Structure 1
Amino acid sequence: MLSLLSMALIIMTISILIMILASILSKKSFVDREKASPFECGFDPISSSRLPFSLRFFLIAVIFLIFDVEIALLFPLILILNYSNILMWSFTSSIFLLILLIGLYHEWNQGALNWAN
């Protein structure tokens, strides 16, 4: 019990010393306000927060995210097809792709994919 307590104390001491050493040695410069501020989607966070936001940009970002996740889900399906029931996985992947294609058609029909008006 005593060795466990002493080991925990040594580990905490080393961790605290490393954190203190890192904060002392790190070069922090608050002179440049642009470098210290976060950069989010090309918007200047220092200016007014009530600027209009492009809804089209948001929709395209969501579409990209959906199709990016789709690719990440379909790649393992190709590898699984060799080791399991092909009919079940073919049906599952077909339904998955059909849902995505219906969603893509709906967004195309609503005009979310048109950049120029």
Structure 2
Amino acid sequence: MILFISMIFLIALLLMLIPLMSSQHPKPDRENLSPFECGFDPKNTSRTPFSLQFFLIAVIFLIFDVEIALLLPMPIIMANFNTTNTLVLITSFLLILLFGLYYEWLNGALNWTI
């Protein structure tokens, strides 16, 4: 048992020390010291206009991502509870989501034009 614990400790110590000994530290220059902001140039002003269409697509993605998380347990719920009530609940939930998708489609939020 003591041999096993000492081996675990030795492996953990090696895993912490090997990256420190093998890493090459580049000289710090302006490019390495500047922050990387997902494709935005950090040297320009931060008040550049943000694409509203990109924001709407991100919000729609989040809404439908949560919708999938809510729809996944529905078969288990239908198996455990009254089928008529859960069917009405699922149908109303899907209708609300479909009306929301139709509303977004009519307003042109799903058109990705450059």
Aligned residue number for residue 60 of structure 2: 63
Q: Calculate the aligned-residue CA RMSD, in Å.
A: 2.6
- Tell me how many residue pairs correspond in the alignment: 92
Q: Where do 5+ consecutive residues of structure 1 fail to align? A: 1-24
Change (3 A) 1:99 1:30: farther
Structure-2-length-normalised TM-score: 0.67
Aligned residue number for residue 89 of structure 1: 86
SS of 1:82's equivalent in the other structure is helix
Report matched runs for 1:1-117 at 5 Å. 31=28, 32-34=32-34, 37=35, 39-40=37-38, 42-116=39-113
SS of 1:73's equivalent in the other structure is helix
CA distance in 1, matches of 2:83, 2:102: 28
TM superposition outliers: structure 1 runs of 4+ over 4 Å = 27-30
Change (3 A) 1:29 1:116: same
The Cα shift of 1:58 comes to 0.1
SS of 1:81's equivalent in the other structure is helix
1:53-84 CA distance string (max 9 Å, x none): 00000000000000000000000112111111
The Cα shift of 1:47 comes to 2.4
CA distance in 2, matches of 1:30, 1:66: 45
CA distance in 1, matches of 2:101, 2:51: 20
Q: Where do 5+ consecutive residues of structure 2 fail to align? A: 1-19
CA distance in 1, matches of 2:105, 2:73: 28
